[in-house]
């Protein structure tokens, strides 16, 4: 008996949904005419209730309660539970506002507020807000807010906010805020804020703020602030915080904070903080300030200040602080304490310099080494072994 009832109900549902029977809407008959004439959508449905409330089978334009349909077309509003068995007619659903729970193989809506689950995908022509899950993909043409999961991809045309996860990619056309994870890539067209992880790459069109991790690269076309990690490279205009690139960390503007580049650390307009560049630490148009370490070349186009160590060479127009180099220090002016096999000061040296060969055009301090040259000393004392000095008060 139960099997017979079940078969009867399924047949009735199929017949009422697919057949050409039409029931005029009780609350707004013009909706039905418009949907048929302009959208060519079937208006066949049956209500187990009154006034558009209760249980509905078929393509009703508006409904409150539980609604079953095969393909949504020209729907305006559903409040409650909407269950569909195929992808909706996208061209007719831009203004479909779904509030509640939407379930199906590939449910399509205009605006969704609540829970949307699609075995294949979930598509929001405008906004998706709430808890949304698409087995393969989760796509929104507008804003995506809440907890959003796409098995392969999670994509929105505008802003993405909340906990958003795409198995391969998590992409926002504009900003991303919150915890956004893409198995291969996490991408934002503008700002990226929060914890954003891309298995291979984490990319922001403008600014990047928070904890941003790219397995191969972490890239920001604007500023990067916070803890920024790129498995191979960390790249930004201005980078602030804890910044790590196992091969290189590169800032086209300034680097500030704890900055690490496995092979090279580059801040075109300046580097400040704790700075390590494996074979190079370079600010060609700015200053380097702080604790600066490299086994290669430490170079600034303006000034190096702080505790400076380089295995090969330290070079800048001005050097201030303590500088230790295993090969060569070269500058226009140096102030403080320096140790190197060769220390060459083209203009003025102030402080103490210890080297095998010391040279200063103008000395105001002490040179200690095998050979010490101070051009501003009188003849006979301008070149001395062991020690040379010239003190001005």
- Extract the residue ranges of the chain whose pLDDT is less than 70: 1-39
- pLDDT at 302 (0 to 100): 96
Among 188, 293, 300, residue whose Cα is nearest residue 212? 188
163-175 tens-digit pLDDT: 989 989 999 999 9
| β pairing state of 45-50 and 53-58 | antiparallel
Q: How far apart are the first and last CA of the chain?
A: 112
Q: Tell me how crowded residue 255 is: count the other CB atoms within 10 A of its CB.
A: 32
Q: Which DSSP category does 380 fall into?
A: T
Indicate left, alpha or beta for 278 from its phi (over 0: left) and psi (-120 to 50: alpha). Answer: alpha
Q: Which residue has the tokens 């804890």?
A: 242
Indicate left, alpha or beta for 169 from its phi (over 0: left) and psi (-120 to 50: alpha). Answer: beta
The CA distances from residue 76 to 113, 302, 317, in Å, are: 14, 64, 70
- Each residue of 149-175: b (16+ CB within 10 Å) or e? bbbbbbbbbbbbbbebbbbbbbbbbbb
- SS3 state at 173: coil
250-286 tens-digit pLDDT: 988 888 999 999 999 999 889 999 999 999 999 999 9
Per-residue tokens: 343:
């220390």
Which pTM value belongs to this model?
0.71
Per-residue tokens: 211:
């904890």
238-252 tens-digit pLDDT: 888 888 888 888 988
What are the DSSP E strand ranges found in 85-222? Answer: 97-104, 108-118, 121-134, 137-140, 144-150, 153-156, 160-166, 169-172, 176-182, 185-188, 192-198, 201-204, 208-214, 217-220
């Amino acid at each position: 008996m139960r099997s017979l009832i079940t078969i009867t109900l399924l047949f009735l549902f199929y017949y009422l949904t697919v057949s050409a029977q039409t029931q005029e809407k009780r609350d707004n008959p013009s909706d039905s005419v418009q949907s048929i004439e302009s959208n060519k959508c079937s208006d066949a449905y049956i209500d187990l209730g009154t006034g558009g409330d209760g249980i509905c089978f078929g393509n009703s334009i508006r409904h409150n309660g539980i609604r079953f349909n095969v393909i949504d077309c020209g729907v305006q509003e559903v409040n409650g539970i909407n269950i569909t068995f195929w992808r909706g007619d996208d061209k007719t659903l831009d203004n479909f506002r779904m509030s509640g729970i939407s379930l199906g193989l590939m449910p399509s809506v205009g605006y969704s507020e609540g829970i949307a689950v699609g075995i294949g995908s979930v598509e929001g022509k405008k906004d998706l807000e709430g808890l949304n899950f698409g087995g393969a993909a989760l796509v929104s043409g507008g804003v995506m807010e809440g907890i959003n999961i796409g098995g392969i991809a999670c994509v929105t045309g505008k802003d993405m906010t909340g906990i958003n996860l795409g198995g391969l990619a998590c992409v926002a056309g504009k900003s991303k805020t919150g915890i956004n994870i893409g198995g291969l890539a996490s991408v934002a067209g503008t700002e990226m804020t929060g914890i954003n992880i891309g298995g291979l790459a984490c990319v922001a069109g403008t600014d990047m703020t928070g904890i941003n991790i790219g397995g191969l690269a972490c890239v920001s076309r604007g500023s990067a602030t916070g803890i920024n990690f790129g498995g191979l490279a960390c790249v930004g205009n201005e980078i602030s915080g804890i910044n790590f690139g196992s091969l290189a960390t590169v800032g086209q503007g300034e680097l500030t904070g704890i900055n690490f580049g496995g092979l090279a650390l580059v801040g075109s307009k300046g580097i400040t903080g704790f700075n390590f560049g494996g074979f190079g630490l370079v600010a060609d148009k700015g200053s380097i300030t702080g604790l600066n370490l490299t086994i290669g070349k430490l170079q600034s186009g303006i000034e190096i200040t702080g505790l400076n160590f380089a295995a090969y060479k330290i070079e800048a127009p001005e050097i201030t602080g303590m500088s230790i180099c295993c090969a060569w220090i070269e500058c226009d002016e140096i102030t403080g304490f320096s140790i190197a096999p060769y220390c060459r000061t083209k203009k003025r040296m102030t402080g103490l310099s210890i080297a095998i060969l010391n040279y200063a055009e103008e000395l105001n301090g002490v040179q200690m080494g095998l050979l010490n040259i101070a051009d501003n000393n009188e003849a006979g004392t301008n070149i001395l072994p062991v020690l040379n000095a010239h003190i001005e008060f």
